[in-house]
Amino acid sequence: MSAVPVAPPRRLLDAEVDGVVVRVPEGATILDACRDQGIDTPTMCYADNLTPINACRVCVVEVEGARTLVPACSRTVEAGMKIRTDTDRVRHSRRLVMELLGSSVDTSLASSDWHRWQDEYAAAPDRFGAPTDPMEAGERDRRWAGHHHGSPDPSRAETVSQPVKVDNELYVRDYGRCVLCYKCVEACGTDAQHTFAIAVAGRGFDARISTEYAVPLDVSACVYCGNCIGVCPTGALMFSSEHDMRAAGTWDEDRQTVTNTICPYCGVGCELELHVQDNAIVKVTSPTDNDVTSGHLCIKGRFGFQYVQRRKKDRT
Amino acid sequence: MVGLATVFGAGGGTSSYEEVENSDLIVLWGSNARAAHPIFFHHVLRALERGAKLIVVDPRRTESAAFGDLWLGIDVGTDIALSNTIAQEIIANDLQDHAFVANATENFEEYAESVAEWTLERGEEVTRVPAEVIREVAHLYAQADRAMICWTLGITEHHTAVDNVLALINLGLLTGHVGKYGSGLNPLRGQNNVQGGGDMGAIPNKLPGFQDIVEDPDARARFEAAWGRPIIPRYGWHLTDMFHAMDRGELTAIYCIGENPVSSEADATHATPLLENLDTLIVQDIVMTKTAEIADVILPASNAAFESDGTVTNSERRVQRVRKALDPPGEAKDDIWIIAELARRLGYDWGDLTAYDAWEELRSLSPMHANMSWGLIEERGGVQWPCNDEFPDGAQFLHARLWAFDDPARQGRKAPFSVVVDDPPVDLLSEEYPIRLTTGRRLESFNTGVQTAGYTSPLRRPEAVELSAADAEALGVVEGERVLVSSRRGEVEAPVHISSALRQGLAFMTLHFPDEVETNRLTIEAADPKSGTAEFKATAIRIDKLLAEVP
């Protein structure tokens, strides 16, 4: 009788990347092919544990015969496809994406790769001028369709800068750092959690991540699994512990260890990565390639660790 | 664990989470996995995204039921009736897997005869699930290519716990939904390492690796040789037996590790004095629990998940590594260190014992763990037992052997059907106690709250007695009003919370907040004689207003 079913064999396709013939299984993306070839491809909205959403366009490549540049993260390789990753057009487009994001959003907490790509593509977000002043709390949330920008000063760069939203004790939302990559929406929605507490509201430059009617989290559908934090690439969504330590100047990743263990609550067996500084857990993540979690946790696994360290607090 | 071990010889869930994603029909029976096992439910959601169907059997219309294609709002404690009715409908329509039943099972005739009386009409009458819904479930389950039944405490916290599990296993045997990829019978373990505890022999009748203390003299001899001590071939007591033995004065000393029975035991009014009256109560725990407060000796321990090294086993039989990330506070010590130190004081020097040493000894004595080295566990991110010469990489699913119809040696013992009889909850409803109270978990809390009280959850709301709007109206009580909740054993005060998940006659409380509301003063200690699990899921209560009517 049936043993473990083997997936139907996948056809191998030949294509060309930067003049080199590559052979990939049917269904592989251009990004997969590039990574196979060791071609460093910038990404922002892509994550291994989410469905590609094509929001940021920083991974675009040129495909011979295609009118537009195509996103490498989601476009699948076709037989005979000729792909170019290093043309002027590709470099120019990627640089512009980096500059537009960098000029309007605080990307200082993005990955070290992101900062390296800025340098490699000579991105100059400053060229649009000094950033405009931060908005008042809630100002962006109040903008509705039909809103027109005031009279923007053409010598200054429009930004999404705004105060941090702190409405619960578990995590903060710092939307001045939000590049609208949609990862949090995907993780809260059909890619993992199916809670649908957040979505993109507004259009154009007014687009922002929002709960329904921009209500505070505690009256939204949020169940505090923190899976949005787990996928956020820019630190817009952050553990309160990390946010508070950064504010106090005590956050120091060089002094942190990361230890993998298993969540002590129910019997599902989720693997946790405990980020520990000075013998205290400061953040909890899960490996995206873990078979049990795919990087996702529930409220207890992500935030329920305090009882362990509270013993220390009570003592002192 | 008892049910699965009885039928298949191994007390573990048969399937992997990955198979759940690739199943065609998932039945959550007495399980609110969306709240109690959220990341397991992610695997269910992937199946649903693929087009699989979800059937939820639960007296409450839970968060999980909201995702279901069908919700069977069964009357509390009628699971056997429902299973027998489904079986009868399958047999009456000749939908059983004839080849599997004939070649891989035993006792079918007697079983078929026992369910014959369970017509759809009778099933509806007893379970309160509409006949056409039972019919649809029977046909969907029998005809699915791959189907799983997953259960939790809604099945096992009854005085018929083992029979309930056997009733579900019967359905798997009848339809051949076991022993193959994507089909299976899976208990979702409510606590981290419940599976591992059983695997390691922390049950009254088994040595590590589910080797029977009485019936397996070879195994006993191997342990005797390794430990240099005779092992008495006698079954021990399970939890409920222990309380009975305390009552009789036979059990006078308890060494309690990481358990909080003062808060977690059913019928607390009866259980707590028994613990208080022990000659010796030693509690080894990480915080000052209510049980620790009445202990003679407290041994402060390090936290198993964050402050020590070792392994745990999850609900898919995956042995996983836990690693020390924090130094424990103060004088708290590792569990293994404490046990070894006790042994030293008793005259046995086990040397500088580590979790690794204990694991290596286990591998040498438990055949199902024989090839499972820490190296392999590290490399694979966990290994699913059995892992031995027959299954060198571990086993994704169990009991494939049953399908080896032509090879009796490989097939081994056939799986027997069990005749199980409908037996309503012990705590009967009456005019005086007309409302059925059931218990369960909330997403952000856990058991008696010892751990989850440590963090501030925006989801948390105070303990309450949850009632249907219809009952609240009939009783003349409103949201937030404090009422007196009484059972035949005790009474508590609690505020009312009106819940749309409940129908008239059904109430719900949790055990999470014993400091606010000691729900276990109400629950009944009636337990399954085989597993020792108390009937937390079915209490007869009444509700009385505390405030005088406003004229």
Q: For B145-189, write each residue's pLDDT tens digit.
A: 999 999 999 999 999 999 999 999 999 999 999 999 999 999 998
Assess whether A100 and A196 both reside in one domain. no
Peptide bond into A25 cis (omega under 30): no
- Mean pLDDT of the region A268-286: 96
Residue B225, burial from CB neighbour count under 10 angstroms (0-12, 13-18, 19+): exposed
Q: Which amino acid is at A65?
A: G
Per-residue model confidence (pLDDT) at position A145: 60
**For chain A, how many structural domains are there in total?**
2
Would you tell me how many other CB atoms lie within 10 Å of the CB of residue B299? 21
- The answer to whether the CB of B485 falls within 8 A of the CB of B551 is no
Whether residue A151 has pLDDT greater than 70: no
Whether residue A2 has pLDDT greater than 80: no
Residue ranges making up the domain that contains A34: 10-130
d(CA B253, CA B97): 52
Name the residue of chain B whose CA is nearest to A276's CA. Answer: B325
Task: Say how many Å lie between the first and final Cα of chain B, rounded.
Answer: 55
Assess whether A65 and A169 both reside in one domain. no
Q: What is the dihedral of CA B373, B196, B106, B115, to 10 degrees?
A: -150
Q: Is B346 on the interface with A (CB under 8 A)?
A: no
Provide the 3-class DSSP secondary structure of residue B439.
Answer: strand
Rg over CA atoms, chain A: 22
Task: Classify residue A3: in a domain, yes or no.
Answer: no
Which of B48-52, B188-192, B233-237, B266-270 has the weakest average pLDDT? B266-270
- The answer to whether the CB of B543 falls within 8 A of the CB of B519 is no
Do the Cβ atoms of A271 and B381 come within 8 Å?
yes
Measure the CA angle with vertex B377, ends B371 and B382; round to 5°.
Answer: 115
Domain with residue A38: its CATH number is: 3.10.20.740
Assess whether A198 and A109 both reside in one domain. no
Q: Is B382 on the interface with A (CB under 8 A)?
A: yes
Task: Say how many Å lie between the first and final Cα of chain A, rounded.
Answer: 62
Name the residue of chain A whose CA is nearest to B449's CA. Answer: A307
Q: Is B430 on the interface with A (CB under 8 A)?
A: no
More confident residue, B295 or B445: B295
Per-residue model confidence (pLDDT) at position A240: 95
Encoded tokens for B20: 């759940």
Provide the 3-class DSSP secondary structure of residue B84.
Answer: helix
Structure confidence by residue, pLDDT tens digits, B110-145: 999 999 999 999 999 999 999 999 999 999 999 999
Whether residue B245 has pLDDT greater than 90: yes
Whether residue B2 has pLDDT greater than 80: no
Per-residue model confidence (pLDDT) at position A142: 82
| Residue A147's pLDDT band (cuts 50, 70, 90) | low
Do the Cβ atoms of B452 and A307 come within 8 Å?
yes
d(CA B225, CA B222): 5
Per-residue model confidence (pLDDT) at position B514: 85
Best A50, A261, A316 residue to mutate vs chain B (most B CBs within 10 Å)? A261
Region of residue B505 (left: phi > 0; alpha: psi -120 to 50; beta: else): left
Whether residue A6 has pLDDT greater than 70: no
- The answer to whether the CB of B427 falls within 8 A of the CB of B539 is yes
DSSP string, B7-69: HHS--S-S--HHHHHT-SEEEEES--HHHHSHHHHHHHHHHHHHT-EEEEE-SS--TTGGG-S
Residue B352, burial from CB neighbour count under 10 angstroms (0-12, 13-18, 19+): exposed
DSSP string, A211-248: EGGG--GGGSS-----HHHHH-SSSSEEEHHHHHHHHH
Whether residue A315 has pLDDT greater than 50: no
A115-153 exposure pattern, b = at least 16 Cβ within 10 A, e = fewer? eebbeebebebeebeebbeebeeeebbebeeeeeeeeee
Task: Classify residue A141: in a domain, yes or no.
Answer: no
Would you tell me how many other CB atoms lie within 10 Å of the CB of residue B540? 21
Measured over the CA atoms of residue A11, residue A14, residue A15 and residue A16, the dihedral's sign is positive
Characterize the bridge pairing of strands B280-285 and B297-300: parallel
Assess whether A102 and A200 both reside in one domain. no
- The answer to whether the CB of B379 falls within 8 A of the CB of B385 is no
Q: CA of A3 to nearest chain B CA: how many angstroms apart? A: 7
Assess whether A288 and A167 both reside in one domain. yes
Name the residue of chain A whose CA is nearest to B405's CA. Answer: A1
Task: Classify residue A147: in a domain, yes or no.
Answer: no
Per-residue model confidence (pLDDT) at position A5: 61
DSSP string, A148-175: ------TTEE-----PPB--SSSEEE-G
d(CA B494, CA B484): 7
Which of A144-153, B56-65, B193-202 has the weakest average pLDDT? A144-153
Task: Classify residue A64: in a domain, yes or no.
Answer: yes
Residue written as tokens 């590609």? A52
Would you tell me how many other CB atoms lie within 10 Å of the CB of residue A6? 6
Beta bridge partners of B71: B56
Among candidates A108, A97, A223, which has minimal Cα distance to A171?
Answer: A223
ipTM of the complex in this document: 0.93
Per-residue model confidence (pLDDT) at position A33: 97
- Mean pLDDT of the region A193-201: 96
Q: Is B396 on the interface with A (CB under 8 A)?
A: yes
Provide the 3-class DSSP secondary structure of residue A195.
Answer: coil
B63-86 exposure pattern, b = at least 16 Cβ within 10 A, e = fewer? bbbebbebbbbbbbbbbbbbbbbb
More confident residue, A153 or B435: B435
More confident residue, B466 or B240: B466
Domain with residue A258: its CATH number is: 3.30.70.20
Among candidates A215, A202, A211, which has minimal Cα distance to A143?
Answer: A202
Q: CA of B444 to nearest chain A CA: how many angstroms apart? A: 6
Task: Classify residue A5: in a domain, yes or no.
Answer: no
Encoded tokens for B254: 């308890």
| Residue A283's pLDDT band (cuts 50, 70, 90) | very high
Encoded tokens for B512: 């999470």
d(CA A13, CA B234): 65
Name the residue of chain B whose CA is nearest to A298's CA. Answer: B38
Per-residue model confidence (pLDDT) at position B494: 95
Assess whether A179 and A300 both reside in one domain. yes
Q: Is B323 on the interface with A (CB under 8 A)?
A: yes
Do the Cβ atoms of A299 and B457 come within 8 Å?
yes
Whether residue A297 has pLDDT greater than 90: yes
- The proportion of chain A whose per-residue pLDDT surpasses 70, expressed as a percent, equals 93
Assess whether A40 and A92 both reside in one domain. yes
Whether residue B247 has pLDDT greater than 60: yes
Counted residue by residue, chain A has a size of 316
A115, A130, A145 - which closes a domain: A130
Assess whether A114 and A207 both reside in one domain. no
Provide the 3-class DSSP secondary structure of residue A4.
Answer: coil
Encoded tokens for A310: 């509270």
Whether residue A316 has pLDDT greater than 50: no
Which of A66-75, A110-119, A146-155, B92-101 has the weakest average pLDDT? A146-155
Per-residue model confidence (pLDDT) at position B278: 96
Assess whether A231 and A175 both reside in one domain. yes
Name the residue of chain A whose CA is nearest to B63's CA. Answer: A195
Per-residue model confidence (pLDDT) at position A153: 78
Among candidates A275, A216, A223, which has minimal Cα distance to B445?
Answer: A223
Encoded tokens for A282: 């400061």
Among candidates B417, B457, B382, which has minimal Cα distance to A289?
Answer: B382
Work out the mean pLDDT of chain B and round it to a whole number: 94
A78, A113, A130 - which closes a domain: A130
Task: Classify residue A238: in a domain, yes or no.
Answer: yes
Instruction: Name all domains of chain B by residue range, CATH numbers in brackets.
Output: 2-187 (3.40.228.10), 194-384 (3.40.50.740), 435-545 (2.40.40.20)
Q: Is B373 on the interface with A (CB under 8 A)?
A: no
Which of A172-181, B229-238, B267-276, B321-330 has the weakest average pLDDT? B267-276
Task: Classify residue A215: in a domain, yes or no.
Answer: yes
Whether residue A152 has pLDDT greater than 80: no
Task: Classify residue A154: in a domain, yes or no.
Answer: no
Provide the 3-class DSSP secondary structure of residue A25.
Answer: strand
Assess whether A186 and A298 both reside in one domain. yes
Among candidates B291, B260, B278, which has minimal Cα distance to B446?
Answer: B260
Per-residue model confidence (pLDDT) at position A150: 58
- Mean pLDDT of the region B299-310: 95
Assess whether A174 and A282 both reside in one domain. yes
Measured over the CA atoms of residue B494, residue B497, residue B498 and residue B501, the dihedral's sign is negative
Structure confidence by residue, pLDDT tens digits, B64-111: 999 999 999 999 999 999 999 999 999 999 999 999 999 999 999 999
Helix H or strand E encompassing B336: helix B335-345
Do the Cβ atoms of A292 and B37 come within 8 Å?
no
More confident residue, B376 or A143: B376
Assess whether A22 and A169 both reside in one domain. no
- The answer to whether the CB of B151 falls within 8 A of the CB of B80 is no
- Mean pLDDT of the region B439-448: 85
Best A258, A265, A286 residue to mutate vs chain B (most B CBs within 10 Å)? A265
A112, A130, A148 - which closes a domain: A130
Residue B412, burial from CB neighbour count under 10 angstroms (0-12, 13-18, 19+): middle
Counted residue by residue, chain B has a size of 551
Which of A140-154, B19-33, B406-420 has the weakest average pLDDT? A140-154
Per-residue model confidence (pLDDT) at position B219: 96
Helix, strand, coil percent content, chain B, rounded in steps of 5 = 35, 15, 45
